[in-house]
Amino acid sequence: AQSVTQLDSQVPVFEEAPVELRCNYSSSVSVYLFWYVQYPNQGLQLLLKYLSGSTLVKGINGFEAEFNKSQTSFHLRKPSVHISDTAEYFCAVYFGNEKLTFGTGTRLTIIP
Amino acid sequence: KAGVTQTPRYLIKTRGQQVTLSCSPISGHRSVSWYQQTPGQGLQFLFEYFSETQRNKGNFPGRFSGRQFSNSRSEMNVSTLELGDSALYLCASSLLPGLASEQYFGPGTRLTVT
């Protein structure tokens, strides 16, 4: 079955430290990959996406992600986090059926 | 440009009742998708409408239905509410369906079933 896994439900990080949020998917077909952020009491906002081309994708707010086909991963990274990055982050995948499948989310908490 | 609007923002209903949620897409957007977000199941795709036609449907029972009007506004209806229907219902709009254009999400309607 096609699925999206975000193993870390919560990630605490000190302010100005780097962070990596992990996302893995299971599929043998071509996929399209997304990261969304959800701030408290708000909807989702697109951070970045991979459709094709360079496997390193840069997004908004200083985030980037790398598509690794062999490891079926699309981890999100930021070299230095800020208090305002506190939010929930969702990895999402199109498996070719045009239905966006989301991971269970990772709550990022920034420690001052 | 105004964002995606969802009404109402909060709703409390009793088991067995039915509910209708509304979504107004960004002006010019013709595709609307609906998602259910719960702590246990996360975000799950409900359905997608484009030009008043349902293009895609997730794995939800027939109690969940939707429609889209000629002005692209969309409604979703849940009949015979169950406690498990308590969730945040998110609507997203895009210019075109599928991968063709980015989805913009509304703030959601939080439904509580008692």
Please confirm whether the linkage preceding B61 is cis (ω < 30° from 0). Answer: no
Supply the pLDDT for residue B52. Answer: 95
Asked whether the beta carbons of residue A44 and residue B92 sit closer than 8 angstroms, the reply is yes
**β-pairing, B42-50 with B31-38?**
antiparallel
Supply the pLDDT for residue A100. Answer: 85
Q: What sign results for the dihedral spanned by CA atoms B3, B44, A90, B42?
A: positive
Supply the pLDDT for residue B48. Answer: 94
Supply the pLDDT for residue A1. Answer: 73
Mutate to test the interface with A, among B26, B32, B43 (most CBs of A within 10 A): B43
Interface residues of B toward A, Cβ cutoff 8 Å, are 4, 33, 35, 42-45, 48, 55-56, 58, 90, 92, 97-99, 102-103, 105-108
User: Phi and psi dihedrals of A60, rounded to 5?
Assistant: -80, 165
From the CB of residue A48, how many other CB atoms can be counted at a distance below 10 Å? 19
Supply the pLDDT for residue A21. Answer: 98
Task: Considering only the beta carbons, identify the residue of A41, A42, A99 that sits closest to B58.
Answer: A99
Instruction: Note whether A103 contacts B: Cβ–Cβ < 8 A.
Output: yes
Supply the pLDDT for residue B100. Answer: 66
> Per-residue b/e over A19-41, b at no fewer than 16 CB within 10 Å?
bebbbbbebeeebbbbbbbbeee
DSSP B35: E
DSSP track, A51-108: SSS-SEEE-GGG-EEEEETTTTEEEEEESS--GGG-EEEEEEEE-SSS-EEE---EEE
* Pairwise CA distance, residues B30 & A74, whole Å: 30
**pLDDT per residue over B76-106, tens digit each?**
999 999 999 999 999 999 998 877 678 899 9
The list of chain B residues with pLDDT below 70 reads 1, 100
* Pairwise CA distance, residues B66 & B29, whole Å: 17
* Pairwise CA distance, residues A90 & B21, whole Å: 24
Length of chain B: 114
What does each of the 112 residues of chain A score in pLDDT, given as a tens digit?
788 999 999 999 999 999 999 999 998 778 899 999 999 888 899 999 998 888 999 999 999 999 999 999 999 999 999 999 999 999 999 887 777 889 999 999 999 9
Supply the pLDDT for residue A42. Answer: 84
Taking only residues 61 to 100 of chain A, the set having a beta carbon closer than 8 angstroms to any beta carbon of chain B reads 90, 92, 94, 97-100
* Pairwise CA distance, residues B95 & B102, whole Å: 8
